[in-house]
Structure 1
Amino acid sequence: MSIDRRVIFLFVGAALIVPLFLDIEQKIEITPEVQTLYDAFMELPPGSKVLMTFDYDPPSAPELQPQAITALRLCFDRNLKVIIIGLWPMGPMQANLALETIFIEKKYLDREPIYGVDYVNLGYSPGNELVIQRMGSSIPSTFPRDFRGTPIEEIPLMQGIVNFSNLDFILNLSAGYPGTVEWVQFAVDRFHATMGACNTAVQAPLVYPYVHTGQLTGLSGGMKGAAEFEVLTGFTGKGTKFMLSQSFAHIIVVLFIIIGNIAYFVTRGREKEKIG
């Protein structure tokens, strides 16, 4: 007995796509690391300045973009001021895509956050961890202009910001190098910044120790972390929907494994009967 692999692909594809259009509630357990990250945001008073560093590109967006959108929503809803940078060339563009997704929502149509006052995108700066070191001394000299080319001294949000000591929290969204490890080594260990992180599922196990040592204030890892973050903030987004699709796909795969094993033993039994 054999099943055409195209049939398996069809079922798995359907399991991934169909749940995206269904309104099904899935119980998502909240891990302590994500809870700690959420609590860190909630403890910031309105007007606090949050540096969000987008250190990933489009291939990692399915895992990290939902986390970025949730974090930005949370900041805007709590009147936290957001400063965006990227150590990856495509990072600031991913930030702009996340902002576009948020600003088309109904509640932001009447009162969209003001660029330069509520948030700013300083763009990409080459140099990997050297950028973090330079920011520890002077953020204006590291990013003299924003993503649009506006001199930093003309941006209201950047007034009075010299280095990490003028920031209340850092959130690093990372898919690899440079990313969370480098931010911990320099921004946290050297300049004593307070920082949380959102990582891909592959990278998260490498940075969990930083949470346990207190160097990171919370961590959201992969699609599951994105779903947990959404549940805590009350924003139902792609993280929750993708987790549902992933669960359905896992069920289909397990069912085919069971069917395959049953078919194997049935066929084996018949062959023994023929031999006997």
Structure 2
Amino acid sequence: MAKETTMIERFKNLDRRIIFTLVAIAVIIPLLRPIGLKTDVTKEVKDVYDRIEKLQAGERVLLSFEYDPASKPEIHPMAIAITHHLLNKGVKIAVVALWPMGSEMADQVFELMKADSRFGHKFEDDGTTWVNLGYKAGGPTVIKLAGSKFQEAFPGSKSGVPFADIKILRGVKSISDFKMILSFSAGDPGLKQWVQIANAQYGVDVAGGVTAVSAPEFYPYYNSNQMFGILGGLKAAAEYEALIGVPGKATSGMDAQSVVHLVIIGFILFANAVYFIERKQMKGVE
């Protein structure tokens, strides 16, 4: 009895650093070596994938980046996955940004497309495959102007190439000349304005990716067919990575969350077991 009691006391006074260490290991290992736990794909994510699958090589798509380093961990993985999918389809991509750091986020995505062996894309930054038109202040005003006079809204590339010399923009007069608009948005201005203006006023198909906390406000637009799909948070990004068959940071992030949850549940069950064993022993002493 004394030995059992001593063991129970040890468990009750377990050094919290052991718990912190186990949680740290549960986070680090899946981040370094993704497990690839099965992820059920939601309809709104699959709708985005299916619509992109229907695109034909040479068609134009407009990507809008409205996030910064603060929201990068959650939105960047979905931007990477969707951009990879678009490049695989052979479409032409024009990038704009309604947030100051948005164009930098876009540059990072396209640099990764060429540098990372998982993607293996080979293209020149000469406006034949994609072009970064840079950041424009004004939010809704910029979108409205682009709706009728795209060249006035975005007169040239971020690197200084005039609109007329950008090959993939030849023939573009308004946002209606793009097959779809995809916005990666962490707030306003962002996806909401693209839906309210580009879709509602100009009839352009719109979808996008947002943070998990803001996703619920976009479901009314999705359910009323004003958006053809939506990615909400890291889980949705992991779903899209599963669809394209390229596990990335979203997959490893969700793996880490799942493993940590299992570890925490294990600790809870263990603590309850210790409690009931101690309680039984105390009754035996009485």
TM-score, scaled relative to structure 1: 0.91
Which residue, 68, 73, 92 being the options, matches 1:62?
Answer: 73
Structure 2 CA distance for aligned equivalents of residues 92 and 199 of structure 1: 17
Equivalences for residues 188-267 of structure 1 within 5 A: 188-266=199-277
Return the match for 1:122 from 122, 125, 133: 133
Assess, with a 3 A threshold, how the Cα gap between structure 1 residues 224 and 48 changes in structure 2: closer, same or farther: same
- CA, structure 1 residues 207+109, in 2 after alignment: closer, same or farther (shift >3 Å)? closer
- Find 1:139's aligned residue among 150, 153, 162: 150
Q: Which of 147, 170, 178 pairs up with 2:189?
A: 178
Q: Give the deviation of 1:82 after TM superposition.
A: 0.5
> How far is 1:115 from its partner?
2.9
Q: Distance in 1 between matches of 2:124 and 2:224?
A: 36
Rounded to whole Å, the distance in 2 between the matches of 1:205 and 1:140 is 34
CA-CA distance at 1:269 after TM superposition: 5.9
Question: Are residues 164 and 26 of structure 1, via their aligned partners in 2, closer, same or farther at CA, if it must alter by over 3 Å?
Answer: same
Corresponding residue for residue 97 of structure 1: 108
How far residue 2 of structure 1 moved from its aligned partner, in angstroms, is 4.2
Equivalent runs, 1:157-168 vs 2, <5 Å:
157-168=168-179
Give the structure with higher Rg (CA).
2
Task: Report what 2:5 is aligned to.
Answer: none
Which amino acid letter does the alignment assign opposite residue 177 of structure 2?
Answer: N
Query: Is contact 1:76–1:113 with CA below 8 Å preserved after alignment?
Result: no
Identity %: 37
Structure 2 Cα separation of the partners of residues 119 and 196 of structure 1: 19
- My pick for the range that moved more, 263-272 or 202-211, is 263-272
User: 3-state DSSP class of the match of 2:71?
Assistant: helix
Q: Summarize deviations over 1:13-48 as a string: whole Å, max 9, x none.
A: 211111133363421111111110001101111111
**1:44 maps to what in 2?**
55
Partner residue of 2:23 out of 12, 15, 21: 12
The aligned counterpart of 2:8 is none
**TM-aligned CA distance change 1:110 to 1:192, over 3 Å:** closer
Deviations 1:69-100, CA, capped at 9 Å, x for gaps: 11111111111101111111111101111111
Q: Following the alignment from structure 1 to structure 2, what is the Cα–Cα distance between the partners of residues 235 and 16? A: 20
Structure 2: distance between partners of 1:229 and 1:108: 15
Amino acid at match of 2:37: Q
Number of residue pairs matched by the alignment: 275
Maintained 8 Å contact 2:65/2:105: yes
Aligned residue among 98, 102, 113 for 1:87 = 98
Any idea what SS the aligned residue of 1:83 has?
A: strand
Inter-CA distance 108–32: structure 2 relative to 1 (3 Å threshold): closer
What CA distance in whole angstroms lies between the structure 2 residues aligned with 1:205 and 1:219? Answer: 10
- CA deviations on 1:130-174 (whole Å, 9 max, x unpaired) are 221121121211111211122222211111111111111111111
Does residue 74 of the first structure (1) align with residue 85 of the second (2)?
Answer: yes
TM-score (norm 2): 0.88
| Matches of 1:108 and 1:240, distance apart in 2 | 16
> For each residue in 1:185-225, what CA deviation from the matched residue of structure 2 results, as whole angstroms up to 9, or x when unmatched?
11111111101111111111221221111111111111111
| CA distance in 1 between partners of 2:99 and 2:250 (Å) | 23
Structure 2 gap segments, 5+ residues each? 1-11
Distance, in Å, in 2 between the alignment partners of 1:23 and 1:133 is 43
